[in-house]
Structure 1
């Protein structure tokens, strides 16, 4: 069969696509780049936000119409198939459903004569899809979550915690590096929980050590998101391994979500703003050059003007190097959806106000690099070369460097300009 795959969403979905591709080609089927050329179409869905769901619904309808008119099989895979199977079945009643956990079994669905619904089950441990795109490889080390955030639908799609063994992750990282990756991203829904199901302990620092010790090559390792309630248990050990390892970015992604303790309680986030800031201070005191990224949601149900003002104050005072800012998005199956919602106009206004603060803080943080010479690692080429400081801040290289540059090369760049998002400069 000729099979077309279209994937949306996070790195976990990309890894699931890699597993599907491996299974499909392993059984002698052929992957194609156009749904019109395919015998079967797979859409690997995301449903993290309401606007994402709207886009998924629109695209599923388009592909379902194509499949009905041309006699093609349609498989709706990914998080929407697991978390919202009734929604998918309503808009595409003849489509098969495949949950993320069943991605390696995609061939069973492809080869079945009729519609198949395969949305139960737990992910097989140590089946890691290695996906290298533009020399970057996201490697999932765990799936699932032990938190119970009131706003999150993703936990309904990937609820059960399944950590891949240290040996399996090391093997996957090694394969990614051999396949040309110069940046390896350890990903998961919450890396702070890594190992709790498998080793009965939080083992992220041990995992990083094993990778650094056993995977040789020219690459940098980036550690993914860690929720504060689990970070507190591994903080000292994690800081030490990140500080000591030369090929680990001095970068941590620690989501705050709100600067108001009242809203954090509504969100069911198990820490206070004060505890969060104390952890960030401890990280910065141990790794002076560290870059901290965070997530902020504004406009959560029952967020008052005072709550919002507290969030703006924390963004300003903490001086985050990067803020992933989002307006609250109501999702089905979540507790927040049952709370009193704020008017859309209020949410939009708060996003714009928060964005101005985020941009101001980002400019302030990056302005200190202007006029200095920085050492950075080349990871991207998008019309021009882009490299990363050791703390993961991106630097756009201007001018005609030409053939002297390449992926995985360390270079010195004279920084001429800063934006709230990146730095820009030339080779000296």
Structure 2
């Protein structure tokens, strides 16, 4: 059959898309790039936010009309049918439903004569979908988590912690590098839990060491780690990061709020002081490390003082990057039952958050102006883009003879709150 796949959401979803395509091609099906040319249309969905969910439902409705007109088949895969199958069934009653854990079995829905519902089961541990964004390859190492955050709907879609084996991950990295990847992103819902159900311990440091022994000119970015699960592996992980220049000196450690009261409402298992101590310890042990964090603005029970405390700790800890978003009510979560902050207040706080993030981001980056630093080239988008050893992006304003995967000495001439701008030093 001719199959069209359309994917939304995170790196895990993009990996699931790659896995689905690989399985279908193995079974003799053809992947097409236009739904109008397809016998089967698969939409691989995300449901992390309310606006995302609404976009998904609108798109499902449009694809339903298209497939019905062509007497084709519609399959809704990903997190939306796993977390809220009733909403998908209401929008497209005849569509087959496939959870993320069943991505490797997508052929059952494709080849079936009728509607198929595949929402149970556990992911195959060693089937990793390999996807590329130019020369950057996200490699999922686990899905699921051991936390129970009050605001999160994703845990309903990817319920069970499943870690891929070190051998499977190493093989995927080797394949990606052989195919031209110059940046490997180790991804998952919470990398601090990697290996706990498989090896009986938090195994991320060992995995990082194993990946760092592989041949090739590439860099590795470590994905998000919940502060709850970082302390037991902190020293070992930092040693693994420092042991090889190919491991970016970068950690993504989500804070979510600078208020203990709000953290408690979120069911986050740490205090602001504990988080502060963790970040200071990381910076003490790796002086040039950069740290990204996540913030939810306007979570239920957040008052003005709580929000000011969040702005205060962002300024204090000087995060290299802050991913922030307004709170979005998600069904079947504990936060959905709490008093909601008015939209007007959330929007006003979002603007103030943006001002603070820009202020801190520029302060962090302006100290690089005038320095000559090695930049590893990873991207091209009208101009070459590279990364410092601590993952800060550098836009190269000249460089016709450059190419992916090389390191160039670069004079930093300008800083913005988001990146650096520089020129390659002439030899």
Asked whether 1:415 is paired with 2:412, we answer yes
Aligned twin of 2:422: 425
Aligned twin of 2:271: 272
Question: When the two structures are aligned, how many residues end up with a matched partner?
Answer: 425
Structure 2, unaligned runs of 5 or more? none
Aligned twin of 1:62: 62
CA-to-aligned-CA distance 1:121-157 (integer Å, 9 cap, x gap):
1111111111122011100000101000000000000
The two structures, once aligned, show a CA RMSD in angstroms of: 0.7
CA-to-aligned-CA distance 1:146-200 (integer Å, 9 cap, x gap):
0000000000000100011111111111111111110000000000000100011
Structure 1, unaligned runs of 5 or more? none
Aligned twin of 1:127: 127
Any residues of structure 2 matched to 1:387-398 within 5 Å, and which? 387-398=386-397
Deviation at 1:212, TM superposition (A): 1.1
Aligned twin of 1:36: 36
Structure 1 contact 132–180 (Cα < 8 Å) conserved? no
Taking the aligned partners of 1:262 and 1:150, their CA distance within structure 2 comes to 13
Aligned twin of 1:185: 185
What TM-score, normalized to structure 2?
0.99
Question: Tell me, what secondary structure is at the counterpart of 1:198?
Answer: helix
Deviation at 1:54, TM superposition (A): 1.1
For residue 406 of structure 1, the aligned residue among 403, 409, 421 is 403
Taking the aligned partners of 2:265 and 2:210, their CA distance within structure 1 comes to 38
Asked whether 1:73 is paired with 2:73, we answer yes
Any residues of structure 2 matched to 1:17-416 within 5 Å, and which? 17-213=17-213, 215-399=214-398, 401-402=399-400, 404-416=401-413
Question: Tell me, what secondary structure is at the counterpart of 1:197?
Answer: helix
Question: Tell me, what secondary structure is at the counterpart of 1:395?
Answer: strand
Deviation at 1:426, TM superposition (A): 1.2
CA-to-aligned-CA distance 1:347-404 (integer Å, 9 cap, x gap):
11111111100100000000011121121100000010000000000000113x21x2
Of the structure 1 ranges 167-176 and 261-270, higher mean CA displacement relative to structure 2 is found in: 167-176
Taking the aligned partners of 2:82 and 2:39, their CA distance within structure 1 comes to 24
Question: Tell me, what secondary structure is at the counterpart of 1:71?
Answer: coil
Question: Tell me, what secondary structure is at the counterpart of 2:155?
Answer: helix
Taking the aligned partners of 2:71 and 2:300, their CA distance within structure 1 comes to 45
List structure 1 segments (4+ residues) > 2 angstroms apart after TM superposition: none
Of the structure 1 ranges 179-188 and 129-138, higher mean CA displacement relative to structure 2 is found in: 129-138
Structure 1 contact 132–179 (Cα < 8 Å) conserved? no
Structure 1 contact 187–223 (Cα < 8 Å) conserved? yes
Question: Tell me, what secondary structure is at the counterpart of 2:6?
Answer: strand
Taking the aligned partners of 1:243 and 1:346, their CA distance within structure 2 comes to 43
